[in-house]
């Protein structure tokens, strides 16, 4: 059976890099087929999936710090819950605010799963909350206005992480394992500065963001950030640390303009190096 290639993550995730897939594939083509690829901040695993699909002989290590693979393993129960919610809303118009009676029925159904031990609230948020809003608990859902945006079909994650080595470690520990080894490419997509990170399993301060730059010096990398990063604070940090030159000096930059809504725009940035 042919492996399915995904150009987007099978379950919702804030910050997945689907807009960069085409350029990401192009950059990967310049690396050896047996390259070792370390996805330091794996997120939805999309970069790891694409890397393994494009380079099946490569070793791909996906650092699943946000437990996305756990969500994938529970996709069947998530689909069942959404099927039941879909039945509650069977005659209700789509994209409309859900009335209190039906909201209470939906919350009661979610509570059953919550008491049983697991609910994928991020996926539920995509089906029941206003665009770009996320809640991570039943109590959070109870405070929100619900909308009928429930996905029509089931989610499918078959083979998404096939052949990928899944780990869950501090990125510094992971870097230490491969530092100094040849033919290693680092995928570095940390949570963006000045950007909502409420769905991530981390609580970073500015120093944590800047420490990531130490991974870049002397390494082959593909690094993602946005134009919301704080240049003043960055320069202050560089002035107090012995950074070995500008790690981006020899990198190529690609920018994509993004829009969250009619009055909120930002620019996603990908910087990359090619093998020497």
DSSP labels for 170-199?
A: -HHHHHHHHTT-SSEEEEE-PPPTTS--TT
Cα angle for residues 115, 120, 122 (degrees, 5° grid):
135
CB 215 within 8 A of CB 182: no
pLDDT at 231: 46
C-alpha to C-alpha distances, 205 to 56, 190, 233, 252, nearest whole angstrom: 37, 12, 12, 27
Greater model confidence, 22 or 226: 22
pLDDT at 193: 64
Averaged over 121-129, what is the pLDDT? 95
Helix/strand/coil for 38: strand
Does the pLDDT value for residue 22 go beyond 90?
A: yes
Averaged over 30-40, what is the pLDDT? 97
pLDDT at 246: 78
Domain ranges of the chain: 18-67+168-272, 75-143
Averaged over 44-60, what is the pLDDT? 97
pLDDT digits (tens, 9 = 90+) for 216-256: 888 999 988 877 766 456 657 777 877 677 788 889 999 99
Does the pLDDT value for residue 197 go beyond 60?
A: no
Does the pLDDT value for residue 25 go beyond 90?
A: yes
pLDDT at 1: 42
**Cα distance between residue 4 and residue 25, in whole Å:** 16
**Residue 266: which residues within 8 A CB-CB, separation 6 or more?**
195, 226, 227, 228, 257, 258, 260
pLDDT digits (tens, 9 = 90+) for 166-194: 999 999 999 999 998 999 999 998 876 65
* CA 42 from centre of chain: 7
pTM of this structure: 0.82
Q: What is the CATH number of domain 18-67+168-272?
A: 3.40.50.150
pLDDT above 70 coverage of the chain, percent: 89
User: For 64, how many CA atoms within 13 A lie in the half-sphere containing its CB?
Assistant: 17
Does the pLDDT value for residue 119 go beyond 70?
A: yes
Average pLDDT, the chain: 88
Structural tokens at position 55: 């380079």
**Cα distance between residue 221 and residue 276, in whole Å:** 12
Question: 201 falls in which pLDDT band (50, 70, 90)?
Answer: low
CB 49 within 8 A of CB 56: no
pLDDT above 90 coverage of the chain, percent: 65
pLDDT at 263: 64
Does the pLDDT value for residue 202 go beyond 70?
A: no
Does the pLDDT value for residue 111 go beyond 60?
A: yes
């Amino acid at each position: 059976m042919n492996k399915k290639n995904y150009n987007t993550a099978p379950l919702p995730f804030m910050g997945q890099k689907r807009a960069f897939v085409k350029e990401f594939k192009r950059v990967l083509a310049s690396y050896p087929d047996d390259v070792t690829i370390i996805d330091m901040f794996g997120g939805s695993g999309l970069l790891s999936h694409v890397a393994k699909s494009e380079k099946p002989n490569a070793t791909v290590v996906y650092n699943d710090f946000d437990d996305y693979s756990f969500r994938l393993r529970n996709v069947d129960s998530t689909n069942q819950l959404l099927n039941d919610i879909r039945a509650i809303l069977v005659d209700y118009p789509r994209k409309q605010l859900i009335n209190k009676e039906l909201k209470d029925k939906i919350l009661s159904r979610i509570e059953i799963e919550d008491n049983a031990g697991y609910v994928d609230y991020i996926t539920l948020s995509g089906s029941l909350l206003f665009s770009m809003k996320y809640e991570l608990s039943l109590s959070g859902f109870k405070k929100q206005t619900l909308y009928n945006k429930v996905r029509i079909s089931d989610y499918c994650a078959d083979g998404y992480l096939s052949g990928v080595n899944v780990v869950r470690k501090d990125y510094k520990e992971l870097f230490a394992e491969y530092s100094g080894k040849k033919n290693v490419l680092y995928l570095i997509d940390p949570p963006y500065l000045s950007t909502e990170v409420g769905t991530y399993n981390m609580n970073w301060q500015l120093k944590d963001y800047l420490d990531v730059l130490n991974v870049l010096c002397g390494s082959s990398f593909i690094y993602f950030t946005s134009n919301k990063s704080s240049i003043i604070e960055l320069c202050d940090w560089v002035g107090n640390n012995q950074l070995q030159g500008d790690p981006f000096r020899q990198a190529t930059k690609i920018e994509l303009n993004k829009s969250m809504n009619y009055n909120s725009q930002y620019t996603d940035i990908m910087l990359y190096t090619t093998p020497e």
